[in-house]
Amino acid sequence: MRARHCVGGRRRAPVPIIATPLRGGAAVERAIPTDAPEDEARTGSIQRSVAIDGPTASGKSAVGRALARRLAYGFLDTGLMYRACTLAVLESPVDPADEDAVAELVRGLDLDVQWPDPETPRVVIAGSDVSGRLREPQIEATVSLISRVPAVRDELVRRQRAFAERSPIVMAGRDIGTRVLTEARTKLFLDASLEVRAARRLAEEQAAGRASDLGRVSDETDRRDQLDSTGHRAIRPEQAAPDAVVIVTDDLGVDGVVARAVEAYERANAS
């Protein structure tokens, strides 16, 4: 593992205290200044957030949910927002290959993410909960095309930052530490071999009742890797932020990865 760590700012008083549960049931007290200017408060919220990046099926969502539980934070898999935009495009007259039209639709889209359960956000379009539709095969086949449109990414990055400005969050995606939450003190990059990631994706599909086979899933995972690192999108999911903690998850379960993530969080936010 290679790691570079950021150290947060000093505590100010008098301030309210948030007790954040961490390792072994202990708690670390975090100070949030009440007299901070609005911009400073927003930046502070982003700094306390956790950015998780990595390629498809590297464990970002499972680890992100578990880490959010430990930190008493909300969790957002930003891929859900791209899937929601893809659904909106597919149900509109817009041609998914028309980048200008897609961008215009996304900029005007009534898209919201709600947290009735901190670990399981609900994705809402125009008042309708679409969370259960975001893994449909047509969306799977089209989401890479939509997410590589630069103006779409610009719009969703703006919205994703707004969530983190309101309150600290664990956010997972492809460019969270390198673009969305660059100020976050805790940046994680999860990686795994193609074989391990394909096996994980196959297990997810089978658990959801979708018929599949390892060969097809492996090919699709490899195709996603290629799309992620070419064309307009140029996310380069194989590249971590310079100050990210890199965790190879091939031989680690979720608990093992979360333990390392909590250690990284504690170091980054030490007073």
Q: Quick: pLDDT tens for 81-110.
A: 999 999 999 999 999 999 999 999 999 999
Confidence at residue 221, expressed as pLDDT on a 0 to 100 scale: 79
Confidence at residue 40, expressed as pLDDT on a 0 to 100 scale: 65
Confidence at residue 4, expressed as pLDDT on a 0 to 100 scale: 41
Provide the CA 246 distance to its chain's centre, in angstroms: 15
Domains of the chain as residue ranges with CATH: 39-269 (3.40.50.300)
In angstroms, the CA 49 to CA 261 distance is 12
Structure tokens at 216: 């097809």
Phi and psi (nearest 5°) for 227? -65, -40
In angstroms, the CA 112 to CA 110 distance is 7
Q: Under a CB-based contact definition with an 8 Å cutoff, are residues 12 and 132 in contact?
A: no
Cα dihedral 257→27→2→53 (10° resolution): 60
- Which residues is 30 bridged to in the sheet? 18
In angstroms, the CA 7 to CA 265 distance is 10
In angstroms, the CA 186 to CA 10 distance is 16
Confidence at residue 238, expressed as pLDDT on a 0 to 100 scale: 59
CA torsion sign, 43 to 47 to 63 to 224? positive
Per residue in 106-157, pLDDT (tens digit) is 999 999 999 888 778 899 999 999 999 998 989 988 998 999 899 999 999 9
Confidence at residue 271, expressed as pLDDT on a 0 to 100 scale: 60
Q: Determine the residue type at 69.
A: R
Shortest CA distance to 49 belongs to which of 175, 152, 186, 158? 186
Q: Determine the residue type at 157.
A: V
Q: How many residues does the chain have?
A: 271
Shortest CA distance to 152 belongs to which of 59, 232, 219, 61? 232
Residues of the chain where predicted confidence (pLDDT) is lower than 70? 1-38, 40, 211, 227-238, 271
Axis-axis angle for helices 254-268, 60-71 (nearest 10): 50
The DSSP H or E segment spanning 139 is helix 137-147
Q: Is the peptide bond before 55 cis (omega within 30 degrees of 0)?
A: no
